[in-house]
Chain A
Amino acid sequence: MTTATAAVEAIGLRKDFGGFRAVDGVDLEVRQGEIFGVLGPNGAGKTTALRMLATLLPIDGGQARVFGVDVAREPHRIRQLIGITGQYASVDEDMTATENLWMFGRLQGLRSADARATARRLLAQFDLEAAADRPIAQFSGGMRRRLDLAASLITRPPLIFLDEPTTGLDPRTRGQMWDTIRGLVTEGCTVLLTTQYLDEADQLAGRIAVLDRGRKVAEGTPAQLKASVGDSTLQLHLAPGADQEQARQVVLRVAGAEPVLTPESGRMNVPLDTADRAADVLIGLRGAGVSIASVSVAQPSLDEVFLALTGHGADAGEDDARGGTDGTDDTDTFASRPTDQIPQEVQ
């Protein structure tokens, strides 16, 4: 095998739940040794895609290979190459941390003494030694995640799937988990992770695929992705009675971008290349006599990325077009979807 073999290569990946298409023709290529992020709101199909790649769900259409091994045809071999840490901890709640790791080690063919040594090594590595003999039921969310990740690493598989590894963790534990994930890559692992947070994908991933309603709507480096929405966002709240249309024209002229109106009247978000442009906009507004109640400058949120990429916000994914079974039009929906404002494969 050459180093050119992709860690994951998926073409036209598809999953139907009854009449509902949860994953709809997704192509993914994850290179060896990188952290690849799959970004998308709740219900986008991230978990489903991951579970198909990890042999936990049958693949309904398309093809997937892991290090050149076909996922559908050789699931048993795939299971020797991957570790998966789900959105919800998949460890035995009634057993202690050591017992869990020992059991998973034994199930994968380690001898008893080796399984015990591996358990000890992993518990030390994940800072769980003090809790080694406590039942999992007493673990905090962060400890559970770490144990779950440790359980995925027993045989040091070359590919690790992480499904929303930090959702629900407090900021400190989240940062620790990020360090741990970076550590995996320095050992030579490849990591495919899903997340709902743009900043998480930004922090960790070398490349990102954005998933929306089962389809890939964009792919690229975090920088490329953010460039498509601007580096930061100016959030304006106009004073009561201020002329919204006039404000829009000032923004368009100064920032060179259309402001995004938010549902509350008098509020608008302005995508900016750099945060410095905020001052220009404010000066422009004062010059035009538009008075302002409050301003703030923020990083673009996932919602704004989604708005820019798909024309709808991140939350909309769940309800509106979801119920309809629009997946029946043709099999190659991905290729035929409109791609005008989408930075496809921007490299």
Chain B
Amino acid sequence: MNTASPTLAAAPPAATAYRVDPAAAVAAARPRNTPAETVSQTLIMARRALKKMRRNPEQFFDVTVQPLLFTAMFAYIFGGAIAGGVKNYLPVLIPGIVAQTVLTTCMATGVQLREDMEKGVFDRFKSLPMARIAPLAGPMVADLIRYLIAAGLTFLTGVVIGYRPHGGVLGVLGAVLLAIVTGWSLAWIFTWLGTITKSAKSVQGISMMILFPLTFLSNAFVPVSTLPGWLAAFVKVNPVSHLVSGTRTLANQGSVGAEVGWTLLACLVVVAVFAPLSTLSYRRHL
């Protein structure tokens, strides 16, 4: 601290001679945000989240290590057994890993929001005349980067170990885009969990319980035809299967299949339900 001046410069500098005018402030106070203000506040919150990411790069550990490790590991372990060779397995596996990493990244979104919300600064966000959705949506905008890294890196690892997607560059870009959109939409579920649970740990626990069955009881790693009937029935309605199939058709055939449509529809429903739920529960709960 400054030792030169023993007294705190408490009074405002005489030059400003500012007078607060309550009547004018009341007259100027508007009853609600404009949509433009909401967008601007969301972007400011996104900027804050990006700044945090830059300062804590270890946050990117999961989105970088998981694609690298899981892709290589699964390819060499299951490749021979499931598809008669690594090269044949990659077109099946890569979209599966993309879906899986994107989903785990969603979970991190919810856990980190919960952690963040426990900090004192959220009290200030609540006391400011800002949109209630901005502190939730801001970090999610910043998280688009994570989904990009997760999906992009998985494809890259695949290509390095011999994956040659027939969908071409456009097909792969489409697949990455689909994964990002899906990840972002599903993250609202975990954001909602973040606003209703008591601690970051419980968000993690509940998320795991949801994610494990969803990713493993899907067509992400094995063809549905190899499964017993009852399991196949679940796998077929599992939304993760639609994401995986959609990603496969985009990356491997370069075509937009019906699965892509189903996936996007599911995303829309999830956002329409969970974004308002999250905002509501954030508004009430904390």
Contacts and interface: CB of A to CB of B under 8 A. Distances in A.
Contacts of B11: 179, 183, 186
Closest 10 CB pairs of A and B: A188-B20, A176-B8, A179-B10, A158-B22, A79-B129, A183-B10, A90-B124, A90-B123, A77-B29, A80-B29
B265 to A, nearest CB: 34
Interface string B249-286: 00000000000000000000000000000000000100
A55 B127 CA distance: 7
Interface string B1-43: 1100101111111000011111101111111110001001100
A76 B23 contact: no
B44 A106 contact: yes
Interface string A112-146: 00000000000011110111000000001011001
Given A103-B48, A124-B9, A156-B18, A109 B127 contact: no
Nearest to A176: B8
B52 A94 contact: yes
A288 B11 CA distance: 55
Given A91-B124, A94-B55, A103-B44, A127 B19 contact: no
A6 to B, nearest CB: 10
B18 A187 contact: yes
Interface string B192-231: 0000000000000000000000000000000000000000
A157 interface: yes
A186 B29 CA distance: 23
Interface residues of B, number: 50
A206 interface: no
A176 B21 contact: no
Interface in A67-121: 67-69, 74, 76-84, 86, 88-95, 99, 103-104, 106-109
Given A93-B120, A129-B2, 11 more contacts: A77-B29, A79-B129, A94-B56, A95-B48, A104-B124, A106-B44, A130-B1, A140-B1, A143-B1, A176-B8, A188-B22
B186 to A, nearest CB: 27
A209 interface: no
B8 A127 contact: yes
A211 interface: no
B130 A7 contact: no
A188 B29 CA distance: 18
B22 A90 contact: no
A69 B124 CA distance: 21
Contacts of A109: 37, 40
B7 A179 contact: yes
Nearest to A91: B121
Interface in A143-162: 143, 146, 151, 156-159
Contact of A158 (B12, B25, B31): B25
B128 A108 contact: yes
